[in-house]
Amino acid sequence: MSHPFEHILLATEHTEFDVGAERLAFDMAQHCEVPLHAVVPVLSNPEYEVIAPQLAERAEQEAVAKINMLYDAAATKGVQLEVVARRGAEPYREIVQEAVKRQSDLIITRRRGKRSFLSNLLVGEMVSKVVEHAPCSVLFVPRAAQMWSHSVLAAVDTSPSAQQVVHLAAKVAAQCALPLTVVSVLTHDTPDLRAQTEATLAHVLAVASAAGVHAESRILTGKPFEQILATATALLADLIVVGRHGESNVIHTPFGGTTQKVAGLADIPVLVAHAINFPAADLI
C-alpha cells in the first residue's frame, strides 16, 4: 500500500503552540520515509514596513532564527527538510499558497495560538481559515499530542464524503497496523435515518476492506461532537478523522459545527479529510 501522504507541509510559527505539530510532522516524515516541507508565515505588508521598518527587520531576523532551529531539529531526527518563509498580510493565505505550490496532500498545523479578542475559542483564527481554504487534508495537533500508536476513529455522516473519510482513515490505519472504528451519530434516532446510516456504514466498511483494513462500526445517539470525543476516549483512540464538508448528522458547514468542536476540544490529533486525496478509481 502507498503512503497515506507523500507531500507533507508543516505550517509553523515555531512558538510554544507549534511544538506538537512540529514533533508529529517530524515523526510522520520518519515513519513514511518522505521528505518534509515547512512554511513559516511572516506578517508583512508595505504599510507596516514603512511605518515601522525596525519591527519589520526584527520579524525578518526572528524568521531566520526560527528556520535555523527547524533545520537543527530535523537534522537531529534524521529528517530531510526544506523550509521557506512566506511574507504577507494574511498568514493563512501564505500557508495555503505554499500548499498549492508544493502540491501538498497534507498540511500539519497547531490547533491554535495565543488567544485574542478576535480568535476563535476552539480553533485559532489563522488555522481555521487554513482548513477552509486548503487544497488538501489538514491535521490539527494539540501541543501535547503524539504520533498515533493505538487506534484510529473515523466519524462520518450519510453524505458522499463518508467514503472519502474512511478511505483516508483506513490508509492511515493500515500503514500503522492499527484498528479502525467508524462511528456515525444520530441526533434523532428514527427508523428511516437509522436505516440510511446502516447502509452508509455498510458501504464505508467495504471501502475500508478494499484498503486492506478490517473496521468495526457503531451507530450512536446524542450530540455528535460529545459522542465522537467520548468514543475516542473509550477506545483509547489517538487519531480522529473527520470530513470538512457534510450534509447530515456530523458535519454541517465548511469547517463548522461538529468538525470544529471535535478539532477544538480533542486532546489528540484530528485529521480533516479533503476529497482531493481520493481519486475516484480508488473508491467503491
Which tens digit of pLDDT belongs to each residue from 20-79? 999 999 999 998 889 999 999 998 776 666 676 777 788 889 999 999 999 999 999 999
pLDDT attached to residue 117: 42
Q: What is the pLDDT of residue 184?
A: 97
Q: Is residue 147 part of a domain?
A: no
Whether residue 17 is found in the same domain as residue 92: yes
pTM for the model stands at 0.89
**How many distinct structural domains can be found in the chain?**
2
Same domain? For 17 and 79 the reply is: yes
Given this model, what pLDDT does residue 278 score? Answer: 42
Domain extent, residue 35, equals 8-141
Q: What is the pLDDT of residue 280?
A: 39
Which residues of the chain, if any, have pLDDT below 50? 1, 116-120, 246-254, 276-284
**Residue 179, exposed/middle/buried by CB under 10 A (0-12, 13-18, 19+)?**
middle
Residues 105 and 171 in one domain: no
Q: CATH number of the domain at 236, please.
A: 3.40.50.620
Strand order in the sheet with 152-155: 81-88, 36-43, 8-11, 106-110, 137-141, 270-273, 239-243, 152-155, 180-186, 215-221
